[in-house]
Amino acid sequence: MRKVFGYIRICKPQMKICEYDTYQSVYCTLCRHLGKQLGLPARLLLNYDYTFMTMIMIALSDEPSAFIRGRCAFNPLKRCGNCTTHNEAFEYTSALTAIMFYHKLRDNIQDTSGVKRLLWRLLMPYAALVRKRAMKRFPDEDALVNEYLRRQFETEQSASPDNEGMVDALCQPTADVISAFAVRLSEKPEDKTILRYFGYFLGRWIYMIDALDDLDEDVMDGAFNPLALRFALTAQDITDRSERREEARAFGNDSLNLSVAEAVKYYELLDLGAFKPILDNIMYLGISDAQKSALLKENAKFRKSKHHSS
């Protein structure tokens, strides 16, 4: 499992032009804040999940939003939107981006070897620098991620396919940390209760879609994957597209459906104002598209071997 985020994205073909423009403006503004707070290279850490989080935070705020047009730092010939309000929201999600980047990099170094590990190590000084800058304002978030990774590691180390609740237990750390982040997206007590449960089920969905999306690759590489462990999958199951592989994928899809259904129940209790059509697009269409892509994904090594054998 690579614990890579970025699955919570829009379904662009189903968006109105004005809605897409607003979403893109938030995305571009987050990019600017990453550069301003953490240095120009930090803009490369931009992520759809944090854009979604920023939009939720802005939508739940009583402060009105204002946008202006500006120039893109990477492409001066391109004009893009810039949100001139809600600095707190952009600062918070920028800090989360930096903190998660550092800890993900550290996790990658532990999980890989050879040239990949060397490349990750080369990035560590920069990751440590941006993490340090982020921690000055949001030290609690770094502690949360530290605890999350510790629990995730311990849970994966003790995971057993004989335990019927194994997959649920493996989802728990991610669900808990996303829940904790979500609670911080609003200052209103009535929102915090809803966001706690919304974030929890969204976190379960994130962990499981990563497992489903990486299933074939993880099995072929010998990396940890909860679905592979649950169904005792081997490389032969992947190349043969065995019945067990299909059972694992169906199990993962069912788990995703249950998690997103629960997340939607709490999402609908939030008053999201003018941003609701954009966030609806993500929750009802973008997430569905990401799930379908993961379910229909075929292992690249399998495609290659199939091509050579034909």
Q: At 196, which CATH number? A: 1.10.600.10
Classify each residue of 182-217 as buried b or exposed e, where b means 16 or more C-beta atoms within 10 Å of its C-beta: bbbbbeeeebeebbebbbbbbbbbbbbbbbbbbbbb
pLDDT average, residue stretch 257-285 = 97
Q: Which domain holds residue 85?
A: 12-309
Residue 1 has pLDDT above 70, yes or no: no
pLDDT average, residue stretch 113-118 = 83
Within a domain: residue 4?
no
Within a domain: residue 217?
yes
Within a domain: residue 135?
yes
Residues sharing a CB contact under 8 Å with residue 3, sequence separation 6 or more, in sequence order: 104, 107, 152, 174, 210
Within a domain: residue 81?
yes
User: What are the φ/ψ torsions at residue 64 (nearest 5 degrees)?
Assistant: -70, 155
Per the CB < 8 A criterion, the answer to whether 274 and 66 are in contact is no
Residue type, 287: I
Residues sharing a CB contact under 8 Å with residue 212, sequence separation 6 or more, in sequence order: 227, 249, 252, 253, 256, 291, 294, 295
* pLDDT tens-place string over residues 276-308: 999 999 999 999 999 999 988 764 445 444 444
Per the CB < 8 A criterion, the answer to whether 221 and 233 are in contact is no
* pLDDT, the chain, mean: 89
Q: Which one-letter DSSP state was computed for residue 241? A: T
Residue 190 has pLDDT above 70, yes or no: yes
pLDDT average, residue stretch 244-263 = 96
Within a domain: residue 2?
no
* Sign of the four-CA dihedral 101, 107, 110, 113: negative
* pLDDT tens-place string over residues 30-87: 998 888 888 877 788 888 999 999 999 999 998 889 989 888 776 777 888 899 999 9
Within a domain: residue 292?
yes
Residue 241 has pLDDT above 80, yes or no: yes
For 223, how many CA atoms within 13 A lie in the half-sphere containing its CB?
19
Q: What is the pLDDT of residue 310?
A: 39
Which pTM value belongs to this model? 0.90
Within a domain: residue 30?
yes
Within a domain: residue 3?
no
Per the CB < 8 A criterion, the answer to whether 188 and 270 are in contact is no
CA distance 281 to 265: 15
CA distance 108 to 117: 7
When divided into structural domains, the chain yields a total of 1
Tell me if residue 30 falls in helix, strand or coil. helix
Q: What is the pLDDT of residue 298?
A: 64
Tell me if residue 83 falls in helix, strand or coil. strand
